[in-house]
Protein backbone atom coordinates (compact mmCIF):
# COMPACT_ATOMS: atom_id res chain seq x y z
CA UNK A 1 0.00 0.00 0.00
CA UNK A 2 1.34 3.44 -0.99
CA UNK A 3 1.76 6.02 1.77
CA UNK A 4 0.92 9.25 -0.12
CA UNK A 5 1.95 11.76 2.60
CA UNK A 6 5.30 9.96 2.99
CA UNK A 7 5.80 9.97 -0.79
CA UNK A 8 4.98 13.68 -0.92
CA UNK A 9 7.40 14.40 1.93
CA UNK A 10 10.19 12.38 0.32
CA UNK A 11 9.67 14.18 -3.01
CA UNK A 12 9.79 17.58 -1.28
CA UNK A 13 12.95 16.69 0.65
CA UNK A 14 14.61 15.47 -2.55
CA UNK A 15 13.67 18.70 -4.35
CA UNK A 16 15.17 20.80 -1.53
CA UNK A 17 18.37 18.72 -1.52
CA UNK A 18 18.73 19.09 -5.28
CA UNK A 19 18.25 22.85 -5.03
CA UNK A 20 20.70 23.20 -2.14
CA UNK A 21 23.37 21.20 -3.96
CA UNK A 22 23.17 23.70 -6.84
CA UNK A 23 23.13 26.67 -4.43
CA UNK A 24 26.50 26.10 -2.75
CA UNK A 25 25.87 23.10 -0.47
CA UNK A 26 27.34 20.12 -2.37
CA UNK A 27 27.04 17.72 0.60
CA UNK A 28 23.36 18.35 1.34
CA UNK A 29 21.37 15.11 1.54
CA UNK A 30 18.24 13.68 3.08
CA UNK A 31 18.67 12.62 6.69
CA UNK A 32 17.58 9.12 7.68
CA UNK A 33 14.96 8.93 10.43
CA UNK A 34 16.58 9.46 13.82
CA UNK A 35 13.95 8.15 16.24
CA UNK A 36 13.12 10.28 19.29
CA UNK A 37 15.83 12.93 18.81
CA UNK A 38 14.86 14.27 15.39
CA UNK A 39 17.53 16.49 13.80
CA UNK A 40 15.61 17.71 10.76
CA UNK A 41 15.15 16.38 7.25
CA UNK A 42 18.33 17.60 5.53
CA UNK A 43 21.94 17.02 6.60
CA UNK A 44 25.32 17.86 5.10
CA UNK A 45 25.36 21.53 6.10
CA UNK A 46 27.20 21.60 9.45
CA UNK A 47 25.61 24.11 11.81
CA UNK A 48 22.27 24.20 9.97
CA UNK A 49 19.12 22.10 10.45
CA UNK A 50 16.38 22.12 7.82
CA UNK A 51 12.84 20.84 8.31
CA UNK A 52 10.95 20.33 5.02
CA UNK A 53 7.17 20.69 4.75
CA UNK A 54 4.83 20.00 1.83
CA UNK A 55 1.44 20.53 3.50
CA UNK A 56 -1.73 22.24 2.31
CA UNK A 57 -2.27 23.84 5.72
CA UNK A 58 0.35 26.37 6.84
CA UNK A 59 0.98 25.86 10.55
CA UNK A 60 3.98 28.17 10.94
CA UNK A 61 4.00 28.11 14.76
CA UNK A 62 4.11 24.31 14.90
CA UNK A 63 6.70 24.09 12.12
CA UNK A 64 9.02 26.64 13.72
CA UNK A 65 8.76 24.99 17.13
CA UNK A 66 9.69 21.69 15.49
CA UNK A 67 12.68 23.28 13.72
CA UNK A 68 13.88 24.85 16.97
CA UNK A 69 13.74 21.50 18.81
CA UNK A 70 15.61 19.81 15.95
CA UNK A 71 18.23 22.58 15.97
CA UNK A 72 18.75 22.01 19.69
CA UNK A 73 18.87 18.21 19.23
CA UNK A 74 21.58 18.62 16.59
CA UNK A 75 23.50 21.30 18.49
CA UNK A 76 23.26 23.46 15.35
CA UNK A 77 23.59 27.23 15.02
CA UNK A 78 20.43 27.71 12.95
CA UNK A 79 17.27 25.83 12.08
CA UNK A 80 14.71 26.80 9.49
CA UNK A 81 11.71 25.39 7.67
CA UNK A 82 11.65 24.97 3.88
CA UNK A 83 7.98 24.81 2.88
CA UNK A 84 6.46 24.13 -0.51
CA UNK A 85 3.86 26.79 -1.31
CA UNK A 86 0.62 25.84 -2.99
CA UNK A 87 0.89 25.73 -6.79
CA UNK A 88 4.70 26.02 -6.81
CA UNK A 89 6.31 22.83 -8.05
CA UNK A 90 9.70 21.18 -7.77
CA UNK A 91 11.04 23.02 -10.83
CA UNK A 92 10.78 26.27 -8.82
CA UNK A 93 12.14 25.08 -5.46
CA UNK A 94 14.11 28.30 -5.00
CA UNK A 95 10.73 30.06 -4.65
CA UNK A 96 9.64 27.83 -1.77
CA UNK A 97 9.21 29.50 1.59
CA UNK A 98 12.05 29.59 4.11
CA UNK A 99 10.87 30.36 7.65
CA UNK A 100 12.74 31.33 10.80
CA UNK A 101 12.01 33.13 14.01
CA UNK A 102 13.03 36.79 13.80
CA UNK A 103 15.84 36.43 16.36
CA UNK A 104 17.47 33.67 14.31
CA UNK A 105 17.01 35.54 11.04
CA UNK A 106 18.58 38.71 12.43
CA UNK A 107 21.50 36.69 13.83
CA UNK A 108 22.00 35.02 10.43
CA UNK A 109 21.93 38.35 8.59
CA UNK A 110 24.42 39.80 11.09
CA UNK A 111 26.75 36.82 10.64
CA UNK A 112 26.41 37.03 6.84
CA UNK A 113 27.34 40.73 6.98
CA UNK A 114 30.39 40.03 9.14
CA UNK A 115 31.61 37.07 7.07
CA UNK A 116 31.06 38.75 3.71
CA UNK A 117 32.38 42.10 4.99
CA UNK A 118 29.42 43.94 3.48
CA UNK A 119 26.20 45.44 4.75
CA UNK A 120 23.26 43.28 3.78
CA UNK A 121 20.16 45.39 3.33
CA UNK A 122 16.81 43.65 3.43
CA UNK A 123 13.43 44.94 2.35
CA UNK A 124 10.99 43.95 5.09
CA UNK A 125 7.24 43.82 4.67
CA UNK A 126 5.08 43.36 7.75
CA UNK A 127 1.77 41.52 8.06
CA UNK A 128 -0.38 40.18 10.87
CA UNK A 129 -0.68 36.50 11.64
CA UNK A 130 -4.27 36.47 10.40
CA UNK A 131 -4.95 34.81 7.05
CA UNK A 132 -1.35 33.69 6.52
CA UNK A 133 -2.46 30.95 4.15
CA UNK A 134 -4.23 33.35 1.81
CA UNK A 135 -1.93 36.39 2.01
CA UNK A 136 1.65 35.16 2.38
CA UNK A 137 2.29 34.49 -1.33
CA UNK A 138 1.12 37.99 -2.30
CA UNK A 139 3.03 39.69 0.53
CA UNK A 140 6.27 37.86 -0.32
CA UNK A 141 5.96 38.83 -4.00
CA UNK A 142 5.38 42.46 -3.02
CA UNK A 143 8.45 42.39 -0.74
CA UNK A 144 10.58 40.94 -3.55
CA UNK A 145 9.32 43.55 -6.02
CA UNK A 146 10.11 46.43 -3.62
CA UNK A 147 13.56 44.95 -2.95
CA UNK A 148 14.28 44.68 -6.68
CA UNK A 149 13.09 48.28 -7.23
CA UNK A 150 15.48 49.38 -4.49
CA UNK A 151 18.40 47.37 -5.88
CA UNK A 152 18.40 44.98 -2.92
CA UNK A 153 19.10 41.24 -3.15
CA UNK A 154 17.11 40.25 -0.09
CA UNK A 155 13.54 40.65 1.13
CA UNK A 156 11.30 39.06 3.71
CA UNK A 157 7.87 39.20 5.27
CA UNK A 158 7.74 39.73 9.01
CA UNK A 159 4.62 38.13 10.49
CA UNK A 160 3.21 39.16 13.85
CA UNK A 161 1.61 36.02 15.33
CA UNK A 162 -1.59 36.52 17.28
CA UNK A 163 -0.89 37.17 20.96
CA UNK A 164 2.91 37.41 20.55
CA UNK A 165 4.33 40.63 21.98
CA UNK A 166 8.06 39.86 21.68
CA UNK A 167 9.30 40.96 18.20
CA UNK A 168 12.14 38.43 18.38
CA UNK A 169 9.49 35.67 18.22
CA UNK A 170 7.80 37.01 15.09
CA UNK A 171 7.99 34.79 12.02
CA UNK A 172 10.24 35.72 9.09
CA UNK A 173 9.42 34.29 5.66
CA UNK A 174 11.71 34.60 2.68
CA UNK A 175 12.46 32.31 -0.26
CA UNK A 176 14.68 29.25 -0.15
CA UNK A 177 16.90 30.95 -2.74
CA UNK A 178 17.42 34.01 -0.55
CA UNK A 179 17.92 31.91 2.60
CA UNK A 180 20.54 29.82 0.77
CA UNK A 181 22.35 32.97 -0.30
CA UNK A 182 22.41 34.27 3.29
CA UNK A 183 23.76 30.93 4.52
CA UNK A 184 26.53 30.98 1.90
CA UNK A 185 27.42 34.56 2.83
CA UNK A 186 27.45 33.53 6.51
CA UNK A 187 30.04 30.84 5.76
CA UNK A 188 27.88 27.69 5.67
CA UNK A 189 28.18 27.03 1.93
CA UNK A 190 30.47 27.65 -1.00
CA UNK A 191 30.07 30.56 -3.35
CA UNK A 192 31.94 28.85 -6.19
CA UNK A 193 29.58 25.82 -6.05
CA UNK A 194 26.48 27.89 -6.84
CA UNK A 195 24.92 27.60 -10.28
CA UNK A 196 25.82 30.74 -12.19
CA UNK A 197 28.46 31.78 -9.62
Confidence of residue 50 (pLDDT cuts 50, 70, 90): very high
**What residues does each domain of the chain span?**
4-193
Residue 81 β-bridge partners: 51, 99
Lowest mean pLDDT segment, chosen from 9-13, 26-30, 56-60 = 9-13
CB 85 within 8 A of CB 96: yes
Three-state secondary structure of 125-136: EEEECCCHHHHH
- 3-state DSSP call for residue 172? strand
pLDDT in tens, 102-111: 999 999 999 9
Record the pTM: 0.91
Residue 157 β-bridge partners: 125, 173
Amino acid sequence: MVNKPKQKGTAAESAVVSFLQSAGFPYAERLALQGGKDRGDITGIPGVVIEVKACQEYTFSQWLTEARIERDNAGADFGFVAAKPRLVGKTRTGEWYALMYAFDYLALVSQASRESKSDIEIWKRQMSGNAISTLIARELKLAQAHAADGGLDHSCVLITPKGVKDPSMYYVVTTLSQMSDLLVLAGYGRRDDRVGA
